[in-house]
Structure 1
Amino acid sequence: MTRRRCERGSATLETVVLWPAVFLLIFGIVHAGLWFHARNVALSAAREGTRAASMDDGSGGAARAAEFLTATTDGTVMRVGDIHETTDAGTVTVTVTGSSTTLIPGWRVDVSQSATAPIRRWTAP
């Protein structure tokens, strides 16, 4: 009987230690999913911008990426910081930067994705 008295409260102590770790794991998984989704949205916008710019002699990619973000998200997935377009001799690159939605107030997780495509030029034979 003395053995049972020594173990009194052990289940409560195990619960107090275990549940915060479980909640931290669950919130970590959800937060990672939100970040990954924001990354995919930024990459899709950058690809859409480069596709449009490659067909239009290397211009208009940033505007098309902004249109894509407006049409596909309502600002809850990610907050867009900047959409930057650069063109060199034969390629165009569109970079979308911003921050992912977080579950922890005040914590900022940056997202930056870019895509590059060749500029298509039409020539007469």
Structure 2
Amino acid sequence: MRSTEEWIGKTDDDKVPPRVRLRVFERFRGICQLSDRKIMPGDEWDLDHIKAIWRGGEHRESNLHPVLREKHREKSAADQTEQAKCDRIRKKHLGIWPKSQARLKGRGFAKTRDV
């Protein structure tokens, strides 16, 4: 049983309070969860969501872990690429993704401009 209540953000953009950052850091013994390297004094580090919010994760203390900032940026870039692909596929399945103009041009359907 916890002696303190778990912090839960009111919105997905709420800043994590310093006391919660410290608790998360100590829970993981100051180890970057992406590189398994000890986070040393002076290292820049962030809190990362274990299960991404866009995948249904929550903005709460139990869904956060410490990561070195450089590794976090690399992971975030890869996540954004994956999220964009998932969004494209979902839109295509729902029929709301725009049709390719290149395919239409080859069939004589290209838009013409009146001059």
Is the structural similarity TM-score above 0.5?
Answer: no
CA radius of gyration, larger in: 1
TM-score scaled to structure 1, two decimals?
0.26
- Between structures 1 and 2, the one with greater strand share: 1
Using CA pairs under 8 Å that are at least 6 residues apart, name the structure with larger relative contact order, 1 or 2. Answer: 1
TM-score scaled to structure 2, two decimals?
0.28
- Between structures 1 and 2, the one with greater helix share: 1
